[in-house]
Amino acid sequence: MPGTLDLDAALQYVRAHRDRHLQELREFLGIASVSAISSHAGDVRQAAQWLKHRLLSAGFSTVRVEETGGHPVVVATNPGHPDRPTVLVYGHYDVQPVDPLPAWRHPPFEPAIVDGALYARGASDDKGQVFMHVIAAEAWLRTGNELPVNLIFLLEGEEEIGSPHLGNYIASRQDLLRADLAVISDTPMYAEGVPAICYGLRGLAALELTVAGPKQDLHSGIFGGTVANPAHALATLIASLHDADQRVAVAGFYDDVDLPTPAERHAFAQLPFDDTAYQDEVGVPELAGEPGFSPLERTWIRPTVEVNGLWSGFSGEGQKTIIPASAHAKLTCRLVPHQDPVRVLDLLEAHLRAHCPKGVALTIARGEGAPGTVTPIDHPAVRSAEQAIRAVYGRPAAFIRMGGSIPVVVTLHDVLAMPTLLLGFALPNENFHAPNEHFHLDNFHRGAETVVRLWSLLAGWKREEGSQ
């Protein structure tokens, strides 16, 4: 039978240890766990070890650093109560690369507090939110309480490179990871002061193009005019991906895309959105995008094809009058629910091959992909989360979708039949994936309290279900 559940003691614990928790988070953020860059593999592993020790000190009885074939996962568990719900908290301790480094006002792995926000790579995406969950668990475990829910922490080190090994890991450890619900804090609030529950995510599909021309860079005077320039061919290919209206021009790309319901469009339209403030925030001369959709719709429910990087030839100081030997681009698509990543990559590949100019050789390397997802918003856990948010923030939660991708949501649903609650406390302008990433400490602390309350509210969920 469940023991004591003293919510006030747990909340008091979180408040009393703020300084220590903040210092610990700075230590965690100081580890340069960049998963995309192989020279940082040791740092990624160090972050996993750091988490293991911290979860043990939080009161978890078993913490494993498990091999996956790539960067490891960290899994923490406690002995479970059979009549309490089991909740899997997923997060990631790896971070995005930091370039361009000169754009950072503080070194990305030397956390700095400025105006109530903590600046560091990973502050909000996702180490800060992972640590928030560690605190919330500790608050129950170190105050003479029992945990109101059976917690499993699953923390991976490859989220920023598309989680190449996580699917296999989850499939191979289903007994360890089986739960009634997944909670993920890797999405933003809707806006400052507007906490949110996110019920939809876009998916992702990645590919890299290589356009090869001459076997080596050629003198553009001596050879210019007789061979196709790979940089021109690459530009032609990229330009062909969109029409003049910024719609994706790849045949079939929109085939499986659902139009929003009138109710959904109405709900989105009710959310506060200031075009001018948004434009100022991102710092563009004017907003752009697909005609017929609002900015929120463009990022939440419409798919994109986006160049993330391109390079060819000489980019140094001065002139180098060459025809480059090759040209390269990294592309990712953001997908909406019902778009199959494999089919989208098939369509893209067919389009690119059909549009490739003569005189060059095109190579396409596919990256990882994941479909978009939608979570039912009438799930009991969603209702509990809304209640916890209301108690901490004093206002109702917004129900939003998000343009980013969390492939694990798909895996947890497909492999473990688990619904996911997306409950994030970052702000949308906290520079995830960009220089000067940060996390507002007020939301860090409130987020921990919200999670403490959420576990308390979920304690009886399975008994309620059983009694129905």
Single out the residue of 92, 133, 165, 202 in contact with a second copy (rule: CB under 8 A): 202
Min dist. Cβ of residue 35 to a second copy (A): 8
Find the distance separating the first CA and the last CA of the chain, reported in whole Å: 20
- Please, which of residues 389-448 interact with a second copy by CB under 8 A? 402-405, 428, 431-436
DSSP β-bridge partners for residue 119: 112, 438
Which helix or strand (DSSP H or E) is residue 138 part of? helix 127-141
By CB under 8 A, tell whether 324 contacts a second copy. Answer: yes
User: What tokens appear for 191 in the block?
Assistant: 């806006």
* Choices 139-147, 171-179, 313-321, 382-390 (CB under 8 A): range interacting with a second copy: 313-321
Min dist. Cβ of residue 426 to a second copy (A): 10
Single out the residue of 128, 188, 341, 447 in contact with a second copy (rule: CB under 8 A): 188
- Please, which of residues 338-367 interact with a second copy by CB under 8 A? 358-361, 367
Min dist. Cβ of residue 427 to a second copy (A): 11
By CB under 8 A, tell whether 282 contacts a second copy. Answer: yes
User: HSE of 390 in the Cβ direction (CA atoms, 13 Å)?
Assistant: 8
In one letter, which amino acid is 305? V
- Please, which of residues 27-46 interact with a second copy by CB under 8 A? 35-38
* Choices 67-75, 314-322, 407-415, 460-468 (CB under 8 A): range interacting with a second copy: 314-322
Burial tier of 344 (Cβ tally within 10 Å: 0-12, 13-18, 19+):
buried
Min dist. Cβ of residue 49 to a second copy (A): 22
Single out the residue of 71, 328, 438, 446 in contact with a second copy (rule: CB under 8 A): 328
Comparing CB distances to a second copy, the nearer of 172 and 308 is 308
Single out the residue of 261, 276, 319, 467 in contact with a second copy (rule: CB under 8 A): 319
Alpha carbon separation from 157 to 154, 178, 324, 380, 426 (Å, rounded) = 10, 20, 36, 30, 20
Q: Where are the beta strands (DSSP E) in 185-272?
A: 196-201, 203-212, 218-219
Min dist. Cβ of residue 211 to a second copy (A): 11
Q: Could you tell me how many residues of this chain bind a second copy (CB under 8 A)?
A: 103
Single out the residue of 31, 48, 191, 329 in contact with a second copy (rule: CB under 8 A): 329
- Asked whether 73 and 171 are in contact (CB, 8 A), the reply is no
Comparing CB distances to a second copy, the nearer of 171 and 307 is 307
Which helix or strand (DSSP H or E) is residue 55 part of? helix 41-58
User: What tokens appear for 338 in the block?
Assistant: 């019902």
- Asked whether 346 and 183 are in contact (CB, 8 A), the reply is no
User: What tokens appear for 85 in the block?
Assistant: 């719900």
Min dist. Cβ of residue 262 to a second copy (A): 21
Binding mask 80-99 toward a second copy (x if CB under 8 A, else -) reads ----------------xx-x
Distance CA(283)–CA(276), nearest Å, equals: 10
Under 8 Å CB-to-CB from 263, ≥6 apart: which residues? none
Distance CA(145)–CA(57), nearest Å, equals: 16
Distance CA(377)–CA(383), nearest Å, equals: 8
Taking only Cα atoms into account, the Rg of the chain, rounded to an integer number of angstroms, comes to 24
Min dist. Cβ of residue 231 to a second copy (A): 4
Comparing CB distances to a second copy, the nearer of 143 and 431 is 431
Q: Among all chains, which residue has been given the structure tokens 């992702």?
A: 204
By CB under 8 A, tell whether 315 contacts a second copy. Answer: yes
Min dist. Cβ of residue 85 to a second copy (A): 30
Comparing CB distances to a second copy, the nearer of 58 and 305 is 305
Please state whether beta strands 86-92 and 150-156 pair in parallel, antiparallel, or not at all (unpaired). Answer: parallel
Binding mask 101-120 toward a second copy (x if CB under 8 A, else -) reads --x-----------------
By CB under 8 A, tell whether 228 contacts a second copy. Answer: yes
By CB under 8 A, tell whether 306 contacts a second copy. Answer: yes
Comparing CB distances to a second copy, the nearer of 204 and 389 is 204
- Please, which of residues 144-183 interact with a second copy by CB under 8 A? 160-162
- Please, which of residues 46-85 interact with a second copy by CB under 8 A? none
Alpha carbon separation from 427 to 98, 280, 401 (Å, rounded) = 19, 16, 14
- Asked whether 357 and 232 are in contact (CB, 8 A), the reply is yes
